[in-house]
Amino acid sequence: MKSPCPQIVIRDLVISPPLFLAPMAGLTHLALRRVIKEIGGVGLLSTEMLAARRLPGENPAISSFLLRTEQERPLSYQMAVARAEDVAPAMAALHRLGADAVDLNMGCPAPALRQQGAGAALMEAPDTVRAIVAAARKSTNLPLTAKIRLGATLDEVKLRDFCLLLEGEGIDLLTVHARLRGESFVRPPRWEWVGRVKNWLSIPVVANGGIHSPADGARCLALSGADGLMIGRAAAEMPWVFAALATALHGAPPPVTELNLPSVYHRFADLLEAHFQPERRLGRLKEFTHYFQKNYAFGHHLAMAVQSSSSWQEARERAEVFFVKHEPKVVALGR
């Protein structure tokens, strides 16, 4: 008898399979989330990073950051916050939006965010973090998670103390991006350090960074012992990566044996056209194309054609011309 697909349960939320979409600026909006969900294999979706101080005033009917459909469940809302006093109003807004979970961004290395005292800067401010997490825990019964990097340097004592602080104040699950604050995506991730965090904590730990294939996922799990995997850039390049991981790592049946690549791209574009204001579409298509083109040997031609387009219609026509001329047309999803 086949063993059931593994799951993570935090409070009332069941995450199965234990595969998470990483929050990514300009990418993890409605269109990408819907494409990923329709293909299958993802356990928890995520919004883009949202500014806590702006959330109470955002209009979900028109904000491109808050647009969502009922199919995008379960959905975690990631919040960037620097001050504890901003937490309660932001949490109230997320309750109104129907969040299934809330994630606190404590790892983004972007200088602009760190200058505000948010993102990775919080790892240097444990008292502020304690106040923020305590305020968040007091404001919600939703699953409360956090995402961190390993720190500015490899300091085991400092990282351990920080992780234990988060667990002690009520974080239900911790995601660790296995790189230092200043390390770029080309640097191989330090998955074994996620294993250290796993050994320190009793809450679930999810590994993030450098996972682009089932082979990567298997090696990460072996080195880290993590409870789940979070996928970032590979999800934009290959929205079917969750289905491939779920099949290879957890025995889930593939949703289909193969996918038509141009159809995936056009579905993404159709969702942008259906849900986003005209002025919000082209930039998001260009951002997605930057990643999706990596599926093709001559994908840079697709990227250049779309990036140089001055209108929505021109971009879509140029993309179609590329797909007619270039392989691959399909990608296999079977075992």
Which residues neighbour 137 within 8 Å (Cβ) at sequence distance 6 or greater? 144, 169, 170
Q: Where are the beta strands (DSSP E) in 123-224?
A: 144-148, 173-177, 205-208
* Residue 12: how many other CB atoms lie within 10 Å: 9
**3-state percent breakdown (helix, strand, coil) of the chain, nearest 5:** 45, 15, 35
Catalytic residues: 108
CA angle 137, 165, 18 (to 5 degrees): 70
- Report the alpha-carbon distance of residue 33 to residue 45 in Å, rounded: 7
- Report the alpha-carbon distance of residue 32 to residue 28 in Å, rounded: 6
What residue has token string 């050994």? 199
The HSE-up count of residue 123 (CA atoms within 13 Å, CB side) is 27
Token pair in block for residue 40: 């299958």
- Report the alpha-carbon distance of residue 59 to residue 17 in Å, rounded: 32
Specify whether the CB–CB gap between 286 and 315 falls below 8 A.
Answer: yes
Specify whether the CB–CB gap between 333 and 247 falls below 8 A.
Answer: yes
